Structure formats: C-alpha cells, structure tokens
Amino acid sequence: MDCPRCHLSLMTTDYEGVEVDMCSQCWGFWLDSGELEQILERRTLEFTPDERRQILDARTAFSTGPTDPAPCPKCGKTMNRLSYDESVHLVIDQCRDHGVWLDTGEIKKIQAIADRSEAIHRMLLTKLGIIPGA
Ligand SMILES: [Zn+2]
Ligand SMILES: [Zn+2]
C-alpha cells in the first residue's frame, strides 16, 4: 500500500496500541475502518491544556494541509472530503469501503478534539458516518 500523497510505501507501525499504516515522509496515517475509533477509545495520549490549545489553534502550521482529495490507498478511488471540524480546518479523507486517510498532524487534531469534549467529538463522528449513531 502506498501513501496517497507521496506514493512511497506505507509502513506498519504501532500507534497507541493499534497497528496502523504510516508514511515516514509526510507523517500521514492510513486507518482501516474501525481503527480510528480504537485509537480514540484508548485515549492513551494525554494533552496539557497548552498543547491542546496549540494543536487546535487555527493559525498554526498544523492547520494547513493538502486541500485536494486523496485517492484511497486500497482501491484507488477518490476519497470523500469530510469536514470534521471547521473551526480548526480539519477535513479528512474517507473511503466508505476501506477507511480514512489523515494528513500530517490530523491524527493529533482529532485526538485533541476528543480530549476537549467527548460529547462533541462523538457527535461529529456520528454525523460523518464514521461511527454508527446511538
Ligand atoms: Zn506521504
Ligand atoms: Zn477504498
């Protein structure tokens, strides 16, 4: 499987106890369906209020990622761009059949949002169809 941005081979790595595919060049992450929920449920990564503020600051470099949709590394179809949280310019690429692609820094952003408010976060995930509604 190749990185949809750099076209280099993704490497398997352990992220918060979940086996994921990562690009060592751009630090993008490919998460198979279900893996994002697993990472968020574990919540092993802890943020200090300062770190959280920095990650979720719309003006930081983390906010500017590619704006074109990535092709799914599994099937090659153009993925859907899902607006996860407009206030921090977080838009993720999702293949309904295979999983989600997170560009540089996006995984931390999602974790910081989850850390800030579990309820808001669940609502966003459900809205996007990433987790089934209660
Ligand atoms: Zn890459
Ligand atoms: Zn796919």
Over residues 52-68, the pLDDT tens digits come to: 888 887 665 455 667 78
Q: Which ligand number lies closest to the CA of residue 9? A: 1
Structural domain containing residue 117 = 11-127
Q: How far apart are the first and last CA of the chain?
A: 33
Instruction: Measure the CA–CA gap between 10 and 19, rounded to whole angstroms.
Output: 12
Ligand 1 center–CA 5 separation, angstroms = 5
Enumerate long-range contacts of 12-15, CB under 8 Å, 24 or more apart: 15/39, 15/107
Instruction: Measure the CA–CA gap between 32 and 18, rounded to whole angstroms.
Output: 11
Over residues 83-121, the pLDDT tens digits come to: 887 777 788 899 999 999 999 888 888 888 888 777 777
- Whether 124 contacts 133, CB under 8 Å: no
Mean pLDDT of the chain: 85
Ligand 2 center–CA 78 separation, angstroms = 8
Q: Which residue has the higher pLDDT, 85 or 33?
A: 33
| Structural domain count of the chain | 1
Ligand 2 center–CA 120 separation, angstroms = 27
In what side-by-side order are the strands of the sheet with 29-32?
11-15, 18-22, 29-32, 99-102, 90-95, 80-85
Judge whether 4 lies within some domain: no
Q: Which ligand number lies closest to the CA of residue 10? A: 1
Tell me the pTM. Answer: 0.84
Which stretch of 17-21, 28-32, 99-103, 127-131 has the lowest confidence by average pLDDT? 127-131
